[in-house]
Amino acid sequence: MWGIGKMALEIIRIPVLSDNYVWMAHEPVSGETMVVDPAVADAVLAEADSRGWTITQIWNTHWHPDHTGGNADIKAATGCTITGPAGEAERIPTLDRTVSEGDTVALGGLTAHVLDVPAHTAGHIAFHLPEAATAFTGDTLFAMGCGRLFEGDAAQMYAAMRKFEAMPDETAVYCAHEYTLSNGRYAVVAEPDNAALAARMVEVEAARAAGEATVPTSIGLEKATNPFLRAISVEQLAERRAAKDSFKG
């Protein structure tokens, strides 16, 4: 359970496909249940049913099929409302509402602020719920990593990192993949003198060896150990992203 005072969310991790995480967030006061980036439908519907929750909303961060593949079937089963990026509306035909930076989305009594964070895809967004100290970052900010620059550039990713950096350190970061171990292996090469990073890798390696998840992470932890969030310029981020793309470690 994450949150401040009454502004709490119960957030459930649903592992699907090879390394995706679908996040299900239940706001207990209103009884609303929201799903972020459902890659598939069956596992998500089964999880909601097992808890006696009814899915009322889906939030999409970007158009990739491993983030939207369950939209139609979940909507057919529940009648939920689907919200996603205005810049990618043509690529997500199941959307009921499109949003971009400056817009907000309500989940019960909580408010999510939409951030434009393009780079991985052209219209990628993130959802920040400051009252619950929570951010859903899709494929933009990962634990010790960032998304590949498929449809954008390093300048856009650098700008996105600044938006995450501005969040309070205690903000829990819910990203969409279990990439932490591979990200960390590159990170220690990028910053070999970072003691916090070396210590984190010991914990990550132990967690993965035990079959445990390594996310959510936090903004504070990423500020200390993420070489992309820590890049001091667009040029350095570009160099690190190119190096990570070809990294074999």
Tell me: cis bond preceding 216? Omega within 30 of 0 counts: yes
Catalytic residue numbers read 62, 64, 66-67, 120, 139, 177
**CB neighbourhood size of 235 (10 A):** 12
Q: What are phi and psi of 35, to 5 degrees?
A: -120, 135
Amino acid at 4: I
Structure-block tokens of residue 208: 């993965």
Helix (H) or strand (E) holding 120: none
**What CA–CA distances, in Å, run from 70 to 35, 45, 48, 67, 80?**
10, 10, 14, 8, 12
Q: Could you tell me which of 165, 164, 176 has the C-alpha nearest to residue 213? A: 176
How many CA atoms within 13 Å lie on the side-chain side of 234?
10
Structure-block tokens of residue 111: 């408010």
Q: Look at the alpha carbons of 189, 191, 195, 198 in this order and tell me if their dihedral is positive or negative.
A: negative
- Tell me the residue ranges of DSSP E strands in the chain: 2-4, 7-16, 20-27, 32-36, 55-59, 81-85, 97-99, 104-107, 110-116, 125-129, 134-138, 141-142, 145-146, 172-175, 217-218
Q: Could you tell me which of 94, 83, 158, 170 has the C-alpha nearest to residue 125? A: 83
